[in-house]
Chains A and B, each alone.
Chain A
């Protein structure tokens, strides 16, 4: 069972360039999330989607955008990357609106130079 698939696994990106991190789930979960993980700060929510066609802002949304055209896919886009966006990004999904378990992908490590 694949669960959550993220791509790419890692990427080095020049500042000012755009980048889309892909996330696909095969569990038919209605809710999906993007977190970033930085040393000492834990996981911080960037954007979320409670159901296909809707999105919302999390704790640290600036510089990021998301879309949820269908149930399975939830891409995260950096329109113009900056070095402070260097982080490990995790996509997650849940079969409820968040009061239940989140299933995480393996992460995408992004370095912005």
Chain B
């Protein structure tokens, strides 16, 4: 079946460097994408979202890029901090099926 997935299950980043987390999706009908951050023992928290009529959206220290041609989504975190250590999930949905489907997640570890 179609699914949302992440390229790498783990990512180790030096504090202060930029992080890039990738996500591939296979449902060409998906028109809404969202990134969540989950810290240990907590529920997922919204980071940023993007709709299919855009290819880039920026937030505070984060940028989401969407490439619909190759069905690829990425999350860029600028100047990674220790508090950014968490599991990051991408998720997608379609206008006709309003339920989010999540990928398996990427664990980001920030090295001091």
Q: Which residues of A contact B (CB under 8 A)?
A: 4, 31, 33, 35, 40-45, 48, 50, 58-59, 90, 92, 96-107
Contact = CB atoms under 8 A, between A and B. Distances in A.
A97 to B, nearest CB: 4
Nearest to B43: A104
Given A41-B104, A42-B89, A43-B89, A104 B98 contact: no
B100 A98 contact: yes
Given A90-B43, A107-B43, A43 B34 contact: no
A104 B45 contact: yes
Interface string B23-63: 00000000010101000011111100100000000000000
B99 A43 contact: no
B99 A58 contact: yes
B102 A99 contact: no
Given A45-B99, A48-B99, A58-B99, A101 B43 contact: no
Contacts of B98: 31, 50, 96-99
Q: Which 10 A-B pairs have the closest CB atoms?
A: A98-B98, A104-B43, A97-B98, A43-B102, A42-B102, A42-B104, A101-B46, A104-B44, A99-B32, A106-B43
A31 B36 CA distance: 18
